[in-house]
Amino acid sequence: MADLQPGARVPDDITFLGPDGPVRLGDLIGSKVLVLYFYPKDETTGCTAEACSFRDQYQDFQDAGADVVGVSRDSAEDHAKFKANHRLPFRLLTDKGGEAAKRMGVKKDFGLIPGRVTFVIDAQGVVRMRFDSQLKAKKHVGEALEMVRSLARAA
């Protein structure tokens, strides 16, 4: 699939693995704005910095009417350890084999490293923002929060 850019509708049949089983993207959309961020690997420097930035701003996202969900290829067990180690209040889901990333146009960097892309998806399932940067891990949070707040102001 081509890169999902602002204005595109997300495929609601994409499925991730959660700690209790499959989670459909369509089931995450509807009542709130969804900040869905793809990251390469639990417990790596950039990914930990990004997750902790989302953690530190999580209440701001909640107050602005959004939920945050992180996605990587790591197992549910790895996610559970990562969440516990860094007190992450949001869900982490598994993209086994990178299929969801492919369908959403999240490409590997240098053909090897899973991409780091943040999507802000409105309650109708439309992408409102896509931020793609492997190196500016913490900037994903600020960009997403700014978009969520602008959507809240427009509502």
Which residues are tagged catalytic? 47
DSSP secondary structure, 100-145, as one string: HHHHTT-PPBTTTBPP-EEEEE-TTSBEEEEEE-SS-TTHHHHHHH
**Beta-bridge mates of residue 91:** 69
Burial class (CB in 10 A: 0-12, 13-18, 19+), 71: buried
Rounded Cα–Cα distance for residues 23 and 13 (Å): 10
| Best CA proximity match to 89, nearest among 66, 42, 61, 55 | 55
**Beta-bridge mates of residue 18:** 21
Whether 123 contacts 32, CB under 8 Å: yes
